[in-house]
Amino acid sequence: MYVNSGYLHNSRVPFKETKKALRILSAGTYQLHTWPKLPTWRPRGRVDWQLVYVAAGVGHFILDGKDVAVPAGNMVLYQPKQEQHYYFLGADHSQYWFVHFTGRQVKNILKRCGIPLDGYIIRTGLSYEYEDLFRKMRDELTECAWGYEEVLTYYLRELLITMNRRIHDEIPKVTGFVQDEIDHAKNYFREHYNEDISIEAYSASRNMSTSWFSRCFRSAVGESPMRFILLLRIRNAQVLLETTDGTVSEIARIVGYENPMYFSCLFRKEKGVSPLKYRKAFRAGLREPDPASGT
């Protein structure tokens, strides 16, 4: 078994925070390989909140008297004083992350982030984003560097926001390895959108076929990789047209097009007006130029 946890002020005694809006008390992870079973039973619960993320394998949670198998890709939220009864089996090669938190505004923060409070299980999908944020909270609690309590609240809020986006995303979800690859691609495209990007070359560099990558990207993002890049270029061209006096040719090159005529055609197709007319309309105070008016 592997365990790695951090605790506020190195104290394992939970408490209820009544003055601060949010405070993180502990965070960490358990991985089962050799131990046959790792049970937890707190009949009266705890005075703080607990969020458990099943990252691998299966967690077995006794909820309302029923033994519920919760597979990886789900989180379980315990409110203060709720009975906590769950166990993990070594045979399942399980791993889970947890965080304990308290504060006078916890319930409002959770509601604002769209986290349901009328049940236990939250279907979030698998993502290394979650693990990374749990890991960061654990490390802050372990190192206790200057300002760590404030940093902890930022990480937990980011975790809740990330959960909200995954829970309420209307686009079909992909999970685990695939989601991480899509996130990597989006970040790469954002950083290199003005370069000559080949989807075939990018896919090969990540050991994926072009068709498989493109299909997964469209499923997760709602558009093809090339259109994602196109929209990045057009949005940044808009900013340059609005905030600089650069020529269309200069702006075209900045956002990745050597041929200004081709750039102008793409811009007109997306925005309904040419780049110069877009600039003129914007500076005249029309935030959204009307294509039908010719402005």
Could you tell me which residues come within 8 angstroms of residue 97 by beta carbon, excluding any fewer than 6 positions away?
Answer: 27, 28, 29, 52, 53, 55, 130, 131, 134, 135
Q: What is the pLDDT of residue 33?
A: 75
Q: Tell me, which fold does domain 2-168 have in CATH?
A: Jelly Rolls (2.60.120)
CATH architecture for the domain at 227-293: Orthogonal Bundle (1.10)
Average pLDDT, the chain: 90
Mean pLDDT by 10 residues, the chain (295 residues): 88 93 96 87 96 94 94 94 94 93 97 91 86 94 94 97 79 63 89 93 93 87 90 92 93 95 95 92 70 49
Q: Are 68 and 23 in contact (CB under 8 A)?
A: no
Q: What is the pLDDT of residue 93?
A: 86
Distance in angstroms (rounded) separating the CA atoms of residues 32 and 93: 6
Strand partners for 86:
40, 61
**Phi, psi torsion values for 220, nearest 5 degrees:** -85, -35
What's the N-to-C CA distance of the chain in angstroms? 67
Q: What is the pLDDT of residue 218?
A: 85
Q: What does the radius of gyration of the chain's CA atoms come to, in whole angstroms?
A: 24
Q: What is the pLDDT of residue 169?
A: 64
Q: What is the pLDDT of residue 286?
A: 59
Stated pTM of the model = 0.67
Could you tell me which residues come within 8 angstroms of residue 272 by beta carbon, excluding any fewer than 6 positions away?
Answer: 289, 290, 291
* Domain coordinates in residue numbering, the chain: 2-168, 176-222, 227-293
Distance in angstroms (rounded) separating the CA atoms of residues 113 and 105: 12
Q: What is the pLDDT of residue 232?
A: 92
